[in-house]
């Protein structure tokens, strides 16, 4: 059996020595983490894209785009409405980044500063809840 890897990023790192390519690949993967979390939460609740769209008053195509977007393509209102349909609440937390001693502007240049928490991992303190019933209609 061949070599086993812990992640796709590790495979890419093994295939090429181009550090710039590795960094860009990791940024792209990180940029899609939130969208993939939305997809996983919807599937875990047994809700189809069509059902989600119906409950949100938008098209199935809009749900697909949301679940395949980068962080820049997802609005806070989208998250709140999406969570509400799944019987969840949305929390946004700001905290010091643990993995780097770099300044915030340097962190932003590296890629999105975003952590995706599963519903049971959401912190109890410092959360904000908002309502946006028609956030996905555009």
Report pLDDT digits (tens) over 53-91.
Answer: 999 999 999 999 999 988 888 888 989 999 999 998 888
CA distance 75 to 93: 15
- With CA atoms as reference, report the closest residue to 7 among 29, 24, 23: 29
Answer yes or no: is pLDDT of 44 > 90.
Answer: yes
CA 69 to each of CA 7, 78, 81, 114, 119: distance values in angstroms, whole numbers, following the listed order: 21, 12, 16, 14, 20
Q: What percent of the chain has pLDDT over 70?
A: 67
Name the CA radius of gyration of the chain, rounded: 17
> Quick one: pLDDT band at residue 135, thresholds 50, 70, 90?
very low
CA 57 to each of CA 51, 77, 81, 101, 115: distance values in angstroms, whole numbers, following the listed order: 10, 14, 11, 44, 28
Can you list the domains of the chain with their CATH numbers?
17-121 (1.10.260.40)
Name residues whose C-beta falls within 8 Å of residue 69's C-beta, 6 or more positions apart in sequence.
32, 35
Mean pLDDT of the 11-20 span: 85
Name residues whose C-beta falls within 8 Å of residue 97's C-beta, 6 or more positions apart in sequence.
107, 113
CA distance 134 to 131: 9
> Mean of the per-residue pLDDT values for the chain?
74
pLDDT of residue 117: 56
> Quick one: pLDDT band at residue 15, thresholds 50, 70, 90?
confident
Structure tokens at 128: 């904000």
Number of CB atoms found within 10 A of residue 25's CB:
17
């Amino acid at each position: 059996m061949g070599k086993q890897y812990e992640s796709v990023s590790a495979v890419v790192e093994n295939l090429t020595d181009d550090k710039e390519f590795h960094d860009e690949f990791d940024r792209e993967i990180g940029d899609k983490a939130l969208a993939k979390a939305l997809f996983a939460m919807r599937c875990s609740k047994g809700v189809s894209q069509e059902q989600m769209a119906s409950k949100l008053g938008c098209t199935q195509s809009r749900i697909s785009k949301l679940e395949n977007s980068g962080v820049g393509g997802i609005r806070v209102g989208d998250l709140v409405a999406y969570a509400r349909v799944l019987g969840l609440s949305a929390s946004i937390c700001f905290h010091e980044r643990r993995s780097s001693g770099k300044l915030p502007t340097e962190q932003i240049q590296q890629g999105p500063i975003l952590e995706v928490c599963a519903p049971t991992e959401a912190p109890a303190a410092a959360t904000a809840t908002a309502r946006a019933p028609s956030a996905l209609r555009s």
